[in-house]
Structure 1
Amino acid sequence: MTTTPDPTTTPSGPRDWRAPAAACTTVLLWASAFVSIRSAGEAYSPGALALGRLLTGSLALGALLLLRREGIPPRAAWPGILKSGLLWFGLYMVLLNWGEQQVDAGTAAMVVNIGPLLIALLGARMLGEALSGRLLTGMAVSFAGAAVVGLSMSGHGRASVLGVVLCLLAAVACALGVVGQKPALQYGSALQITTFGCLVGAVGCLPFAGALVSDVAEAPLSATLNMVYLGLFPTALAFTTWAYALARTTAGRMGATTYAVPALVVLMSWLLLDEVPAPLTVGGGLLCLAGVAVSRLRTRTGLTRKNAAQPVEGSRHGAQRQGTGRS
């Protein structure tokens, strides 16, 4: 049986920049989501905001899926779709929305940013991914930067214990969802896995339908537009580009990439909200970016073929790309 080498581990030849570009798109849009969540959260309850966001994302993704005629993923992809849909699209969004209503943005950023560490550890434990020294070093540097950003942006009031616990649970749900999604990408395309994961999350949030109807009737237009934006871009587009990139690297490396989010949030607040960051905040943001750069560097030996992830563009050809040895 011939094994096709993973493009992310081949030391020679031109590098394919599509996956890094997809990862950058995801990080940029997820950073913008923090601003929109804070704004829409003033008019929408946590569950209603999550449901509205997921319904918007599901409609957009479903329309695109029909246009591309990709169809329903095979049965083998559904365990991962259900895990990521319930834990990441559903539970994580509700917990994050609720947590951000209880604590300031700085505290939320510090607590939620244990997520990449959990992703790397769970990826090593459950997926057999390698934990290189460079990855761990980069994550440590980025985590230190995220802590500095969080401390510099924290308000003077006491952080809510409930808010901290909610953000912690959100990070755990995110990590479990990412690790659950990774195997599903062997059998379906990024668009398929994201579309049905988003739909599963929306179904899981249906108990908040009554609250959503009530909030839509009373919320200002700006808050509703923020909710729609969250569904179209940080959800529909960003989760699809995330899945595309995740299919071409390890969960640990993708998780480390999200450490760039705090730095981008600082920059966006500066440019869009005219909030001039303190020198300590800028320093923390630079640490975040430096850590991401270290964690994304490739070694000569790369990952072992055992841990390499093969990209799959469609469910129809997924089994063929995995080799004839798959039963």
Structure 2
Amino acid sequence: MRVRIGAQFVALACAWGSSFLFIKVALEGLTPAQVVWGRLVLGALALCAVMAVTRSRIPRDAGLWLRLSVVSVLLCVVPFLLFSWAEQHLDSGMASILNATTPLLTLAVGAVALADERLDRRRTAGLLTGFAGVLVLIGPGGLAGGGGHLLAELACLGATACYGVAFVYLRRYITPYGLPAVSVAFVQVTIGALIMLAATPWLASPAPRVDTPIALSMLALGALSTGLAYLWNNNIVQAWGAVNAAAVTYLTPVVGVTAGVVLLGERLTWNQPLGAVLVIAGIMAAHGTLPRPARRRAAAPEPTVGTEAADLPVEERAAR
């Protein structure tokens, strides 16, 4: 069981981290909207297969479907479109690093919308550190409006802000239903696929060009990064807990940057690893997972003259 969950954790980090590589390759023959169309349709088909194998039930509550439609737009349609558009102007590695800001923006939204998620000193310090990392990632050229990448970087941050709102919405309005994560994922991805299918007449032009690398990238992006990844994440949360499962956030930018450099020949600039370290440190600080220095134990007082062995600590008695 431990080995199986560990393998799923590695697979999840690879699937989510490499999704930006798949998008970059797919954009060589598809428009951003066509990439999202394929991603959601293939993801819905993969989750449909999972639902059939696990014999999970499809929710029938109309109100729940309406609320999950909001989740689908915020968690799938809009951020997927923003990331796909942004990667026309950004390296896939940079997009993967900016995606790592999702926990920070989720925390910021939760501080406003949830009474039990108010900011304290630790969370505020984590947010400030993380957003300092974002400024480092954008770099002085982007802040000054140079390089032409600022709008794409802001689009990535807009996508992670959508994730943050969606996660808070899920916790507030969907979690009380007590549904299996696979059922929730199936409904939200299917709704997103239906939205993109309804928009097909407007997405057909220009005609897509699909070769083997693009087809394989879309298959991986849809079936793995959008479909099975939800199942793996659910299994990891159940086995390890939410805090330990969230550690995948620290690995996805490493996978994304490595894949971009090795497979696409992308150039790694000095501000990317530095900004990524600050973002991850901010996430860890905000969630209280930064290692703390061990406290030195106070030295035991010297026993006074006449102290009996029975009155001493166990360690002292053993030494005597």
- TM-score, scaled relative to structure 1: 0.68
Q: Deviations over 1:170-222 (max 9, x none)?
A: 23322222222234234211110111110011111124424666677622221
The 1:298–1:216 alpha-carbon spacing in structure 2 relative to 1, beyond 3 Å, is: same
Indicate yes or no: 2:267 matched with 1:267: no
Residue 86 of structure 1 deviates from its aligned partner by 1.9
- 2:86 aligns with 99
Equivalent in 31, 34, 38 of residue 48 of structure 1: 34
- 1:205 aligns with 196
Q: Radius of gyration: which is bigger?
A: 2
C-alpha separation in 1, matches of 2:200 and 2:184 = 24
Equivalent in 156, 163, 175 of residue 174 of structure 1: 163
Equivalent in 210, 228, 233 of residue 224 of structure 2: 233
Equivalent in 60, 66, 73 of residue 86 of structure 1: 73
Structure 1: segments with no counterpart, 5+ residues = 1-15, 300-327
Structure 2: segments with no counterpart, 5+ residues = 291-320
Q: Give the 3-state SS of the residue equivalent to 2:179 in structure 1.
A: coil
C-alpha separation in 2, matches of 1:18 and 1:120 = 30
Name the count of aligned residue pairs. Answer: 281
C-alpha separation in 2, matches of 1:136 and 1:22 = 32
- 1:184 aligns with 174
- 1:32 aligns with 18
Counting aligned pairs with the same residue, the percent is 26
- Conserved in 1, the CA contact under 8 Å of 2:17 and 2:255? yes
- 2:294 aligns with none
- Conserved in 2, the CA contact under 8 Å of 1:103 and 1:159? no
Q: Give the 3-state SS of the residue equivalent to 2:115 in structure 1.
A: coil
Indicate yes or no: 2:108 matched with 1:121: yes
The 1:175–1:55 alpha-carbon spacing in structure 2 relative to 1, beyond 3 Å, is: same
Q: Mean Cα displacement is larger for which, 228-237 or 287-296?
A: 287-296
C-alpha separation in 2, matches of 1:64 and 1:157 = 46
C-alpha separation in 2, matches of 1:146 and 1:23 = 26
Equivalent in 111, 114, 125 of residue 137 of structure 1: 125
C-alpha separation in 1, matches of 2:202 and 2:218 = 14
C-alpha separation in 1, matches of 2:153 and 2:272 = 21
C-alpha separation in 2, matches of 1:23 and 1:284 = 24
- 1:159 aligns with 148
- TM-score, scaled relative to structure 2: 0.69
Residue 146 of structure 1 deviates from its aligned partner by 4.8
Q: Give the 3-state SS of the residue equivalent to 1:218 in structure 2.
A: coil
Q: Deviations over 1:135-185 (max 9, x none)?
A: 44344434444544554998x972256535533432332222222223423
Please provide the CA RMSD for this pair: 4.0
One-letter amino acid of the counterpart of residue 22, structure 2? S
One-letter amino acid of the counterpart of residue 75, structure 2? W
C-alpha separation in 2, matches of 1:159 and 1:152 = 12
